[in-house]
Structure 1
């Protein structure tokens, strides 16, 4: 069995985000703390994994093989889940062998690693990529990078349910939209599917356009039979994936001090700074209520040598 006990469902608190720039604009933001659902299987990663695990279990697989980088939150959560639930995990990693806190954790959790180089990793979306890996690991179920695809998106429907169930604790009867960081676009696609047009979904791109987030989102929605949807992608990459600058780090430090909420610089920090910039540019009218999804990823902070 690859699945946890049926009564195990991670719960994330919804709380007000009290920041001066929101007060000045007359905008309310609640933050869904997915970073608090579990010490290791954190953030949106479990939600993206759960449908893949169900498919693997149904197929009689002994475990999961998937992809990511040397700081991958997805592989970290997958390896932790494999160790906790007792299934085999294999990771296909971008680049050449690196010693990072994340990689050390992957190894400690029992994940077997293969380093693909950069060219080999770029081939992950080509037809035939999985054939040699299926031959080498016929007992494992392949999962796309980041837990992507339609199964990953469908697992994110529970994120909406958790937030909506807590609106009354904030004194809200409704809200206007969601704001979240996007790495593959899977969680955003899942929120679009779960919303079915009721509320807008805003994705702050933590990666540049050439990472193909937009076509990945459209592919998921098309597979789900959705042709008209309400979402918007905005650039928050600050010049490229994993690009970190002094303004971003200063913003994270100030926000953490003001709110008591931890952020990291690759996804959640970039997403919140992009929201601040859009708020100050007048994108949202006074009285707007948004839910910011804290997608976790805090384990990745360790790769920044105390800079945040």
Structure 2
């Protein structure tokens, strides 16, 4: 199925913002948005163990799920095109010609639109049976590449960050901070840290999405979840958009409003509230997802 030993390297860069300087808190950003123009962010890392399992069982491709702006499906389809394996996407709702969907088709992914009721059934027993019958040579991957396999694929991120601490003049760090959608990447960091450093997850989705339960299915401690959803998934407001605009102008780091923008604003609010003492050093994981900004072009 291709060279799935490809493990891109994410640079670790210092973040200079006034509100960090005022609090005497240092932040370095692990820039997963910079690993590849198309297979971007944490999505490839979440896919690696799933792809390895697919190869073990002799599958010729991957079938997975997502929405019309899915970063997961976008990275999967791009990887399929680059490395020469088949991809099928099961999409929420009814056909939309979003920029992401047009990319999926251009990358060669075959799409099936499930409607909204059909998509809600994705976690029910037997959901995959008809799709496996239709595509017996494809390996099913859960939405977002989630689960223990997805988490395991994210463990190398900790080593990548630690290997670059010297370039910042850091001897160590105190904790991680990242946006959380499914909780898979957070769980991977917790597994890799093995209790050495705490991992803070800024929830981009409300409590009723079941993220806390999913994370507990993989790890039981070493992390904390903070609500950063601002009222719901994909909910944006003038304060968030103004913060993203000001931050991008100040430090030239691109953000998007679903995950990274919400996570960084939540970090600012927590620092202003005094959660982190002066001298704290944090690693902020930039999880990519910038292609999804095209849904907010207006």
Task: Report what 1:224 is aligned to.
Answer: none
Question: Normalised by the size of structure 1, how large is the TM-score?
Answer: 0.95
> Within 5 A, what are the aligned runs for 1:174-185?
174-185=172-183
Distance, in Å, in 2 between the alignment partners of 1:98 and 1:220 is 34
Mapped to 2, the partners of 1:253 and 1:165 lie a distance apart of 31
1:102-139 Cα deviation digits (max 9, x unpaired) = 00000000101111111111111111111111111110
Cα distance in 2 between the residues matched to 1:141 and 1:86? 15
| 1:276 equivalent in structure 2 | 268
Mapping 1:98-113, distance limit 5 Å = 98-113=96-111
Report the counterpart of residue 88 of structure 1 in structure 2. Answer: 86
Mapping 1:19-58, distance limit 5 Å: 19-58=17-56
Whether 1:244 aligns to 2:236 is: yes
Please give the per-residue CA displacement for 1:31-78, whole angstroms capped at 9, x wherever unaligned: 000000000000001100000000001110010000110000000000
Alpha-carbon offset, residue 259 of structure 1: 0.6
Query: Which stretch has the larger CA shift, 112-121 or 140-149?
Result: 112-121
Superposed CA deviations along residues 210-251 of structure 1, whole A, max 9, x for unmatched, are 111011111123xxxxx4x21000111110011111111100
Contact 1:76 1:106 in 2 (8 A): yes
Residue 10 of structure 1 deviates from its aligned partner by: 0.5
Where does residue 127 of structure 2 map in the other structure? Answer: 129
The superposition leaves residues 16-45 of structure 1 with CA deviations (integer Å, 9 ceiling, x where unpaired) of 100000111110000000000000000001
- SS at 1:107 equivalent: helix
Question: In the alignment, which residue of structure 2 is the partner of 1:66?
Answer: 64
Alignment of 1:187-206 (within 5 A): 187-206=185-204
Q: TM-score, normalised by structure 2?
A: 0.98
Aligned structure 1 segments of 4 or more residues deviating by more than 4 angstroms: none
Q: Is the 8 A contact 1:2 1:63 kept in 2?
A: no
Residues of 2 paired with 1:80 and 1:21: CA distance?
37
CA contact (8 A) 1:63 1:140 kept: yes
CA deviations 1:187-219 (Å, max 9, x no partner) are: 000001000000000000001111110111111
Identify unmatched segments of 5+ residues in structure 1. 222-226
What CA distance in whole angstroms lies between the structure 2 residues aligned with 1:174 and 1:113? 45
- Give the aligned partner of residue 79 of structure 1: 77
User: Is the Cα–Cα contact under 8 Å of residues 2 and 53 in structure 1 kept in the other structure?
Assistant: no
- Give the distance between the partners of 1:9 and 1:148, measured in 2 at CA: 18
Unaligned residue ranges in structure 2 (runs of 5+) = none
- Describe the SS at the equivalent of 1:220: coil
SS of residue paired to 2:90: strand
